[in-house]
Amino acid sequence: MPSSKPSEKAWTQRLTDFLPRALGSEGDDPLQHLQRVSAGETAIMMLSALGIGLVCGLLAIGLNASVHAVRGALGGSEWGPWVILFPAAGMGLAVYLIRSLMKDFAGHGVSDVIQGMAVGTKSLRRRMIASRFIGSLLTVGSGGSTGLEGPIVCVGGAWGTLIGRWLDMNERRKRLLIGYGVAGAVAGIFNAPLTGLIFTLEIIVGEYTALTILPTIIAAVSATEVSRLLAGNKITFHHEIANFSPTSLVACIALGVLTGLLSVVFVRSLPWWESVFARLTERLWIRAATGGLLVGLLGYWFPEILAEGYVTTQAFLTAEVRPTLLFVLGFVLLKLVACGVTLGSGGVGGVFAPSLVIGSGVGLAFGMGLQLLPLEGIAEETAFALTGMTGMVTGVMHGPLTGIFLVMEATRGYSLILPLMLTASSAMVVSSYFESGSVYTRELIARGHLMRRGTDRYLLHTLNIRDILDRDFDILRDTMLLGEFVEVFKHAHRNYFPVVNKEQQCVGVVFLDDVRSYLFDSQLYPLVTMGTIMRNLPNIDLQEPTDEALEKFETSQVWSLPVVENGRFLGMLSKSTLFDHYRRELQIQET
């Protein structure tokens, strides 16, 4: 629903409908006309995506550069043991600012965006742009062991809806704009346009049409170009790619299984840490500061686990100084803990970077282990560090395409595609054996909030029972006698009659079939009241979800049920009307 008056926003309406109107030449064949209108809509959405992508690229580069600047100032050795306190201060301050000043909740970003796609763009608010930006800057800048991608995805999504609100777009378009924002953010921060596109389609939107794909491409391209102009065409991970022997390919399947299992451990550890910190104190900023202190202590002895950790990953990939197997294993373990503590205590960040970094460590350790075996022609261990990244990302996000394209683009290495694909698929199958949803969706699934457009649950959710109520009824009182009913029945055109009591509450329904054979027994007229002959049917409450209402039709096996609001009778809902509207809704939403 547009919040402002139509007249004030008339020019934005004209703007967003300009192309569809200009291109859809009236008078043609109606189907051709419609085809042109929708092509015009796609074009106008592509233009909007350009604006969104440019800004998202800027935001992504801005966040990345700021964090690097802060890390550069705080990460040096001149601070001595004081570094222990940095994450505590940063995370405590981040949570305090977000909760008290910005009145936002510190979610983990991507799930908020997915929820916005499902239940409505209202949940993605303008203040999220600032709160997530500053929150992640403080968290990661001070050394919190998490990534910037989750928050920047949320920032991008919120920016997308903001543009949609500004252009006075409808809800469907605003939800599309969320996706464009996400693509821009991911493409900008990784300097990887394909990843931005794939991540958006696979993880966020889950719908493949011209309206979702083409503008997303524009957003990804524009964000990447902005990032390249400002920060240079950097390759995130340098790697000299060796050729993969068939034996190494088989090993990739094993690595996929390993990373799949580890991703399950990682995903499950996050709510566990959350519950640990939830028991600690009610004050959220103290929770975060305590978590920060723990991370700071770990980081004092093992500084590699602090912040995003891409520097360590880069070291693993180039392997100029070969780390020992023990160091790599210790790094993986401590990074898992540090990231769990950071996110569980309420730090603002995502799981993208930790997954990549942990994956590179696991892959490297796996590769080093293989070198100890008497096998011929095994690829060097750094190559497995790369495929490990794909496996971990796939397992955590349940997005094999995202895992494959991210690593391929981040290393500019198409020649690695076969091992990446193998690792991703085996990691995915292992992870989905244990987890029904990704790290982003498992909670939404548990709460029943994951609804994609066009699915049964979403269709039922969008149906408004009040709209399809049948109110054209003769309503009977429970005290009415059969003799009086006979008079009503003479003029009735329905074969069932809702019965209400003194308080207008629906107490049952009288079916003509039940009483038909007694209607002409005049001796019964003064003896039978409606209350004694009605059937007690379950009432559908207007507040309850439509799928529960449908269940009542199934249990009671009747075609029509009374609908009440706060106990008061409103009307009857018939199964046939419901399905009539259900089908129409499906036709509308069908792509």
- 536 lies in the binding site for other proteins (CB under 8 A): yes
Q: Which is nearer to other proteins, 284 or 530 (CB)?
A: 530
Q: Which stretch binds other proteins (CB under 8 A): 242-250, 272-280, 418-426, 524-532?
A: 524-532
Q: Which stretch binds other proteins (CB under 8 A): 90-98, 210-218, 413-421, 555-563?
A: 555-563
Q: Which is nearer to other proteins, 114 or 534 (CB)?
A: 534
Q: Which is nearer to other proteins, 15 or 533 (CB)?
A: 533
- 551 lies in the binding site for other proteins (CB under 8 A): yes
| Centroid of chain to Cα 141 | 25
- 514 lies in the binding site for other proteins (CB under 8 A): yes
- 4 lies in the binding site for other proteins (CB under 8 A): no
Which DSSP string do the residues of 356-398 spell out, in sequence order? HHHHHHHHHHHHHHHHHS--SSPPPHHHHHHHHHHHHHHHHHT
- 557 lies in the binding site for other proteins (CB under 8 A): yes
Closest approach, Cβ 257 to other proteins, in A, equals 24
Q: Which is nearer to other proteins, 330 or 538 (CB)?
A: 538
Task: Classify residue 436 as exposed, middle or buried by CB count within 10 Å of its CB (0-12, 13-18, 19+).
Answer: exposed
Q: In 3-state terms, what secondary structure has residue 448?
A: coil
Q: Which is nearer to other proteins, 279 or 502 (CB)?
A: 502
Closest approach, Cβ 458 to other proteins, in A, equals 12
Select from 524, 544, 575, 589 the one that contacts other proteins (CB under 8 A): 524
- 531 lies in the binding site for other proteins (CB under 8 A): yes
| Centroid of chain to Cα 344 | 19
Q: Which stretch binds other proteins (CB under 8 A): 178-186, 376-384, 544-552, 577-585?
A: 544-552
Short-list 417, 419, 391, 416, CA closest to 403:
391
Please report, as residue ranges, which positions from 426 to 465 form the binding site for other proteins (by CB under 8 A). 456-457
| Centroid of chain to Cα 455 | 16
- How far is the C-alpha of 549 from the C-alpha of 366, rounded, in Å? 53
Q: Count the neighbouring beta carbons within 10 Å of the beta carbon of residue 234.
A: 11
Select from 2, 377, 526, 567 the one that contacts other proteins (CB under 8 A): 526
Select from 481, 486, 488, 492 the one that contacts other proteins (CB under 8 A): 481
Q: Which is nearer to other proteins, 112 or 478 (CB)?
A: 478
Short-list 133, 12, 131, CA closest to 66:
133
- How far is the C-alpha of 431 from the C-alpha of 489, rounded, in Å? 63
Q: Which is nearer to other proteins, 404 or 515 (CB)?
A: 515
Q: In 3-state terms, what secondary structure has residue 321?
A: coil
Closest approach, Cβ 531 to other proteins, in A, equals 5
- 487 lies in the binding site for other proteins (CB under 8 A): no
| Contact (CB, 8 A) for 388 and 366 | yes
194-203 b/e (C-beta count within 10 Å ≥ 16 → b)? bbbbbbbbbb
| Centroid of chain to Cα 233 | 30
**Residues binding other proteins (CB under 8 A):** 456-457, 478-479, 481, 514-515, 518, 521, 523-524, 526-529, 531-538, 547, 550-551, 554-558
